[in-house]
């Protein structure tokens, strides 16, 4: 297994050459000049060093050892506590946090790069700070000043950590039927009672305190989602002077024994009349929790990119070194018994699948991050409205498509190794196992597709979609030069096709609600590949402009990789589109008893 190295050259290409992120940051009033490319470069360098020197070396050992539970106490694998301490001391947990409470206030377009680096180094490790960052975001957006003052500084500092407690044994996505209760207490707090499952980082030994954001219902709450409230429930109560007080009756009943991310503690959490504090308004907790959930959805999408990058680095190293058979065109290294397997067309196909899709994913995650930055930091109402629309539309695409592609990429990376890919010591099988969960948690990818198709497209009759499509068409109109035609023309055809599919499903859904769910997964994939074609057109434009200064062939390689995507990957949209056009009828011909 190759030693993980942060893909800093490609990250800089995306931020600097493709998106000119530094200029955007300097022109966003809400950032107050806190970020520029010099600062970003320095932070990326440090993140890369920490990832390769501290976090990646405990990845395989953490998988082998796993998180351990005994009598309600969870112990993380050897090295995790020390690595987390260094990570927290570097301020990384509060990277995007509110500076008023000790956060760094850095833009999300930089944050997504750091997240990818940490996920690429060690998926299990990355999940602990990712949950804390999301918890901070929800608390900062919806908590009272008193709660923010009491909890955010230590959360940003990484001395405390955060969780998200939604799922219960009898319900997953359908949160309207949760049973956890919140009973008002005389002092204005609430007594929280119930059981939550699949709680990432619900118990561990990395921090002094763990802050749970818990969905629960008051005794007189309306039925369904409209009766859900959100509560902050600390593991240890916090005294008025900020010191830790007595243990709250919150316990870890067990941890799950999982297929992957074994060093990440996935907990059953029992709340037995635990003291909690209302976050936001009564019966509006789901809206508040969605602030955290949407953060985590993008973060988990980025997990797919990190896994892809790590898999590619190992696969390409192996393909250059492993000798087997001769190239179809004749011996490439006649002094050896065989040629490196990178000469074989099928190995190149797998490597280019990973490379072209990972680089497009990285660009798209940066693009989504920039929309979040615009939405949050601009003072222009029209820009904010556009940013909000794109964030709403693209978040389910990012979560689901990044992770679907991430699993496919890690499987291709494993396949490059042949039989060795199935052996643990090479590391590829761990990446496959780790990547698989990303399609499931934070809302399964089927739910993400339904969100994209139903809430974000059909419900508003394509209003959000039109914002994206208009931007793509504007790029096409502005880039009609011959040099870029091989990227722009396929993009134009792809966006025409997506326009047609969008209109078709909106129309059909008016008379048949099943059309939304029947089309959703394939539609999301067509959307994803089309968005990637847009990213590749933008990357190709940036690379073409820099060919005169290409001593190491980086920009030429970028163009060649983009051509592979356009010619070999983008055509997938045609079969997927035919599936959408087939409609819902084939799904419902069978009676339930006939399955």
Q: Is 255 helix (H, G, I), strand (E, B) or coil?
A: strand
pLDDT at residue 76 greater than cutoff 90: yes
Residue 575, class by beta-carbon neighbours within 10 Å (0-12 exposed, 13-18 middle, 19+ buried)? exposed
Give the helix/strand (H/E) hosting 539: helix 514-544
Q: How confident is the model at residue 181 (pLDDT cuts 50, 70, 90)?
A: very high
Alpha helices (runs of H) in 417-444, residue ranges in sequence order:
428-437
Q: Which of 418, 562, 421, 385 is nearest to 491 (CA)?
A: 562
Q: What predicted TM-score, i.e. pTM, was given to this entire model?
A: 0.97
Question: What's residue 495's pLDDT?
Answer: 98
pLDDT in tens, 479-498: 999 999 999 999 999 999 99
**Cα–Cα distance for residue pair 108/296, rounded to 1 Å:** 13
Give the helix/strand (H/E) hosting 347: helix 345-377
CA angle 144, 147, 150 (to 5 degrees): 150
Residue 69 lies in a domain: no
Question: What's residue 499's pLDDT?
Answer: 98
Residue 184 lies in a domain: no
Bridge partners, residue 554, by sequence: none
Residue 509 lies in a domain: yes
Tell me the chain's radius of gyration from C-alpha atoms: 24
Question: What's residue 175's pLDDT?
Answer: 76
Tokens 């099988």, located at residue: 429
Phi/psi at 322 (5° precision): -70, 125
Q: Collect all residues with Cβ–Cβ distance below 8 Å to 23 and sequence separation of at least 6.
A: none
Catalytic positions: 442
43 close to 8: Cβ distance less than 8 angstroms: no
The predicted model gives 365-380 an average pLDDT of 96
Other Cβ atoms less than 10 A from the Cβ of 574: the count is 11
Question: What's residue 291's pLDDT?
Answer: 83
pLDDT in tens, 252-291: 999 999 999 999 999 999 999 999 999 999 999 988 888 8
Residue 499 lies in a domain: yes
Tokens 């030693």, located at residue: 3
Report strand pairing: 181-184 vs 160-165.
unpaired
Q: Mind giving me the DSSP string for 321-343?
A: H-B-S--TTS-SSTTSSS-BGGG
**Cα–Cα distance for residue pair 521/382, rounded to 1 Å:** 31
Residue 225 lies in a domain: no
**Cα–Cα distance for residue pair 156/135, rounded to 1 Å:** 10
pLDDT at residue 295 greater than cutoff 80: no
pLDDT at residue 91 greater than cutoff 90: yes
HEC-encoded secondary structure of 206-228: CCCEEEEEEEEECCCCCCCHHHC
Residue 432 lies in a domain: no
Question: What's residue 296's pLDDT?
Answer: 85
CA atoms within 13 A on the CB side of 314: 30
**Cα–Cα distance for residue pair 562/18, rounded to 1 Å:** 14
Domain count for the chain: 1
Q: How confident is the model at residue 395 (pLDDT cuts 50, 70, 90)?
A: very high
Structure token digits, residue 273: 């009349």
Residue 165 lies in a domain: no
Residue 12, class by beta-carbon neighbours within 10 Å (0-12 exposed, 13-18 middle, 19+ buried)? middle
382 close to 374: Cβ distance less than 8 angstroms: no
78 close to 72: Cβ distance less than 8 angstroms: no
**Cα–Cα distance for residue pair 41/139, rounded to 1 Å:** 29
pLDDT in tens, 569-587: 999 999 999 999 999 999 9
Other Cβ atoms less than 10 A from the Cβ of 383: the count is 15
CA atoms within 13 A on the CB side of 503: 8
Structure token digits, residue 338: 């065989």
HEC-encoded secondary structure of 354-365: HHHHHHHHHHHH
Range of 466's domain?
444-595
What sign has the CA pseudo-torsion 169, 173, 177, 179?
positive
Question: What's residue 433's pLDDT?
Answer: 98
**Cα–Cα distance for residue pair 399/405, rounded to 1 Å:** 10
Question: What's residue 243's pLDDT?
Answer: 97
pLDDT in tens, 145-165: 999 999 999 999 999 999 999
pLDDT at residue 176 greater than cutoff 90: no
pLDDT in tens, 349-368: 999 999 999 999 999 999 99
81 close to 206: Cβ distance less than 8 angstroms: yes
Question: What's residue 173's pLDDT?
Answer: 72
Bridge partners, residue 20, by sequence: none
Q: Which of 111, 109, 106 is nearest to 20 (CA)?
A: 109
Q: Collect all residues with Cβ–Cβ distance below 8 Å to 93 and sequence separation of at least 6.
A: 87, 129, 132, 133, 136, 155, 156, 157, 158
**Cα–Cα distance for residue pair 400/300, rounded to 1 Å:** 9
**Cα–Cα distance for residue pair 336/543, rounded to 1 Å:** 36
Residue 126, class by beta-carbon neighbours within 10 Å (0-12 exposed, 13-18 middle, 19+ buried)? buried
Residue 378: alpha-carbon gap to chain centroid? 24
Q: Is 82 helix (H, G, I), strand (E, B) or coil?
A: helix
Tokens 């907990």, located at residue: 267
**Cα–Cα distance for residue pair 480/218, rounded to 1 Å:** 59
**Cα–Cα distance for residue pair 572/297, rounded to 1 Å:** 25
Residue 11 lies in a domain: no
Q: How confident is the model at residue 45 (pLDDT cuts 50, 70, 90)?
A: very high
């Amino acid at each position: 297994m190759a030693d993980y190295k942060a893909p800093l050259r490609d990250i800089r290409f995306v931020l600097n050459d493709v998106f000119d992120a530094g200029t955007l940051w300097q022109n966003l009033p809400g950032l107050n000049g806190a970020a520029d490319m010099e600062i970003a470069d320095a932070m990326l360098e440090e993140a890369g060093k920490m990832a390769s020197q501290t976090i990646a070396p405990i990845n395989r050992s953490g998988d082998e050892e796993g998180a351990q539970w005994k009598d309600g106490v969870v112990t993380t694998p050897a090295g995790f506590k020390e690595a987390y301490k260094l990570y927290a001391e570097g301020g990384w947990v509060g990277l995007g946090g509110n500076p008023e409470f000790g956060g760094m206030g850095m833009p999300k377009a930089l944050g997504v790069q750091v997240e990818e680096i940490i996920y690429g180094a060690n998926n299990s490790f990355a999940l602990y700070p990712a949950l804390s960052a999301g918890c901070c975001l929800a608390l900062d957006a919806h908590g009272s000043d008193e709660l923010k003052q009491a909890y955010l500084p230590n959360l940003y500092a990484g001395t405390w950590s955060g969780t998200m407690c939604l799922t219960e044994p009898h319900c997953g996505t359908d949160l309207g039927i949760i049973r956890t209760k919140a009973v008002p207490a005389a002092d204005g707090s609430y007594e929280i009672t119930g059981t939550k499952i699949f709680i990432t980082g619900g118990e561990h030994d990395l921090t002094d305190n763990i802050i749970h954001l818990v969905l629960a219902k008051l005794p007189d709450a309306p039925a369904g989602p409209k009766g859900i409230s959100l509560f902050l429930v600390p593991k240890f109560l916090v005294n008025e002077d900020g010191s830790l007080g007595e243990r709250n009756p919150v316990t870890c009943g067990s941890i799950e024994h999982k297929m992957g991310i074994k060093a990440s503690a996935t907990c059953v959490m029992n709340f037995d009349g635990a003291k909690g504090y209302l976050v936001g308004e009564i019966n509006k907790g789901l809206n508040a929790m969605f602030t955290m959930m949407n953060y985590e959805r993008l973060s988990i999408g980025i997990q797919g990119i990190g896994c892809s990058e790590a898999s590619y680095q190992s696969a390409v190293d192996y393909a250059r070194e492993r000798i087997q058979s001769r190239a179809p065109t004749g011996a490439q290294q006649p002094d050896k018994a065989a040629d490196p397997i990178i000469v074989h067309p099928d190995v190149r196909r797998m490597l280019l699948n990973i490379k072209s899709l990972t680089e497009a994913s990285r660009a798209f995650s940066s693009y989504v991050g920039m929309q979040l930055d615009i939405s949050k930091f601009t003072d222009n109402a029209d820009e904010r409205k556009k940013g909000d629309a794109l964030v709403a539309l693209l978040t389910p695409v990012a979560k689901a498509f990044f992770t679907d592609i991430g699993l496919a990429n890690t499987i291709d990376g494993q396949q490059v190794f042949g039989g060795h890919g199935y052996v643990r010591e090479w590391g590829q099988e761990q990446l496959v196992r780790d990547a698989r969960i990303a399609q499931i948690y934070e809302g399964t990818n089927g739910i993400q597709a339904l969100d994209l198709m139903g809430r974000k497209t059909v419900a508003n009759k394509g209003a959000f979609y039109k914002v994206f499509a208009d931007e793509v068409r504007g790029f096409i109109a502005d880039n009609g030069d011959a040099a870029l035609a091989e990227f722009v023309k396929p993009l134009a055809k792809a966006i025409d096709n997506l326009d047609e599919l969008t209109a078709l499903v909106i129309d059909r859904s008016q008379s048949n609600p099943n059309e939304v769910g029947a089309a959703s997964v394939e539609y999301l994939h067509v959307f994803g590949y089309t968005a990637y074609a847009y990213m590749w057109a933008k990357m190709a434009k940036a690379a073409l402009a820099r060919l005169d200064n290409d001593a190491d062939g980086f920009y030429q390689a970028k163009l060649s990789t983009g051509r592979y995507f356009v010619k070999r990957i983008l055509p997938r949209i045609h079969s997927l589109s035919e599936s959408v056009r087939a409609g819902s009828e084939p799904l419902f011909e069978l009676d339930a008893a006939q399955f």
